[in-house]
Amino acid sequence: MRNIKLTVEYDGTNYHGWQIQPNAITIQAAIQDALAKITKTHTQIIGAGRTDTGVHAAGQVANFHTRSQIPPIAFQKALNATLPRDITIIDVEEVSPDFHARFNAVSRTYRYTILNRAYPSALLRNNAYFFPKPIDVQGADAIYRFLVGKWDFSSFQRSGSERINPICEIYQCRCWQEQDLVYFEIEADAFLRGMVRAIVGTVLKLHDRKDGINRLRGVLDARDRSTAGASVPPHGLSLLCVKY
């Protein structure tokens, strides 16, 4: 059996997340259906991150095992010719038999995008969260960077998370602005379900407070979801890359 690694880009607007669900259109199902047409056999793929409904990806990673002798470049061309236009395979390579897209990952990086101006955008409506109130980007960055390190993120965990251990290590995070867009980027060894959107929502709640860092520490210590801010919408979130 060959082990094939895919790097996938997708617009998650029309999908109920990555993972296959009954009676729902998902990214995983779309790719598996395309592979079935190409290889003439059912092929299960494994994703590095189980993105939620409406979340996008610039560098999702997946792998699958196959007896097919189709070369990697031919797999890429065939998949891109078969998949919907909002899913693109940007790289294909053959890897060692024991490579596992999810369990071998050492970190994942997400980016949340906010359109911060007085009026919305027709072109960015599916990829950036429109937030008309002014954001103190410097204050938000200081609060956000406080999270670097190892913490119990129970206060930012959405119900239904499959990860039992709520402790994650944040390797780096930063907030910055480019014209009307404000970005929140974060890299960690693992993420709880809904964690990034809950963190960004909490930072937006605290960004202009002088005691914002202390309040964030209090939210972490509470280990109670009700103490954190409301989650921002999913369409501003994108999985940027996965490191191995």
Residue 179, both tokens? 């014209």
What pLDDT is recorded for position 159? 75
Helix (H) or strand (E) holding 9: strand 2-10
87-95 vs 2-10, strand pairing mode: antiparallel
Specify the pLDDT at position 158.
87
pLDDT over 90 at 229, yes or no: yes
Q: Residue 32 in contact with residue 45, Cβ under 8 Å?
A: yes
CA distances from 217 to 146, 153, 171, 212 (A): 9, 11, 17, 9
State residue 160's pLDDT score: 65
Separation CA 174–CA 183 (nearest Å): 8
Class of residue 95 by CB neighbours under 10 A (exposed 0-12, middle 13-18, buried 19+): middle
C-alpha–C-alpha distance, residues 116 and 5, integer Å: 37
Read off the pLDDT of each residue in 143-149 and give the average, rounded to a whole number.
Answer: 97
Query: What confidence score (pLDDT) does residue 149 get?
Result: 97
Round the average pLDDT of the chain to a whole number and report it: 96
Question: What is the predicted pLDDT for the residue at 7?
Answer: 98
Share of the chain above pLDDT 70, in %: 99
Active-site residue, from 33, 52, 136, 141: 52
Domains and their CATH numbers in the chain: 2-95 (3.30.70.580), 107-243 (3.30.70.660)
* 212-225 pLDDT tens trace: 999 999 999 999 99
Residues 165-195 have pLDDT tens digits of 999 999 999 999 999 999 999 999 999 999 9
What's the average model confidence in pLDDT over 5-21?
A: 97
In the residue annotation, 91 being an active-site residue is answered as no
Q: Angle of helix 137-145 relative to helix 212-222, nearest 10 degrees?
A: 40
> Closest by alpha carbon to 109, among 46, 18, 192, 171?
171
What pLDDT is attached to residue 174? Answer: 97
* pTM higher than 0.85: yes
DSSP letter string, 76-95: HHHHHHHS-TTEEEEEEEEE
pLDDT digits (tens, 9 = 90+) for 80-121: 999 999 999 999 999 999 999 999 999 999 999 999 999 999
Give how far Cα 189 sits from Cα of 18, 104, 171, Å: 19, 11, 8
- The predicted-structure confidence for 34-70, as pLDDT tens digits, reads as follows 999 999 999 999 999 999 999 999 999 999 999 999 9
